[in-house]
Amino acid sequence: MQHLFDQQLKVIHGDITRLEVDVIVNAANHSLMGGGGVDGAIHRAAGPKLKQACRELRETDWPDGLPDGEVALTEGFELPARYVIHTVGPVYAKTKDKSHLLASCYRNAMTLAAHKGCESIAFPAISTGVYGYPFEEAAEVVLSVMRDELPRLEMTVTLCFFSESDGRAFLEVARRKGELD
């Protein structure tokens, strides 16, 4: 584990569904009905009540689906995390304003988590899997959101990369940007 931004940001690798934090973020899709990647893992680990909660969210709040960059909160059900915040990252090849939308995913999730009284939040590397966002480009977006947002929040943020090499690649970007010694 590596700490950045005065210990407020942790960089780890592993399975986000195992983390004992107040809230984990899901890289979902517009339907909120589950999918592959981290979305599939979160739905499997949370159990069937998560899908039911997502269905209800669709009916009440998002009848046309969750737009890119927006966030929606459910309980965590069988997860160690109390809540899940679902967000939809941009599909790299199809989206014009992608860095703005990717930043919105992170920023909106942290704002909602703070509003719910959460003190710890964990993110996967949103959009960098099936949605094709180049990893280093996404890392730059994440770092600039963290630099802007962390000072105003009393919250610990964990970036949970699935592989050790992704974790190392993120730290390399941070080092290049002068965020790491």
- Residues annotated as catalytic are 39
Q: Specify the pairing of strand 120-123 against strand 156-161.
A: parallel
Cα 36–42–47 angle (5° rounding)? 110
Q: How far is the CB of 43 from ligand AR6 (least distance, A)?
A: 9
Tokens 């940007």, located at residue: 177
CA distance 171 to 179: 9
Q: Which amino acid is at 175?
A: R
Residue whose CB is less far from ligand AR6, 44 or 152: 44
Residues binding ligand AR6: number (CB under 6 A): 24
Residue whose CB is less far from ligand AR6, 28 or 171: 28
Interacting positions 106-135 with ligand AR6 (CB under 6 A): 124-131
Residue whose CB is less far from ligand AR6, 4 or 32: 32
Q: How far is the CB of 144 from ligand AR6 (least distance, A)?
A: 19
Extract the tokens encoding 148.
């802007």
Extract the tokens encoding 98.
């992608």
Going by C-alpha positions, the residue among 96, 88, 107 that lies closest to residue 35 is 88
Q: How far is the CB of 172 from ligand AR6 (least distance, A)?
A: 16
Residue whose CB is less far from ligand AR6, 22 or 39: 39
Going by C-alpha positions, the residue among 123, 100, 109 that lies closest to residue 153 is 109
Interacting positions 34-63 with ligand AR6 (CB under 6 A): 35-39, 41
Q: What is the DSSP string of 24-37?
A: EEEE--TT-S--SH
162 binds ligand AR6 (CB under 6 A): yes
Enumerate binding residues for ligand AR6 (CB under 6 A).
15-17, 27-29, 35-39, 41, 89, 124-131, 160, 162, 166
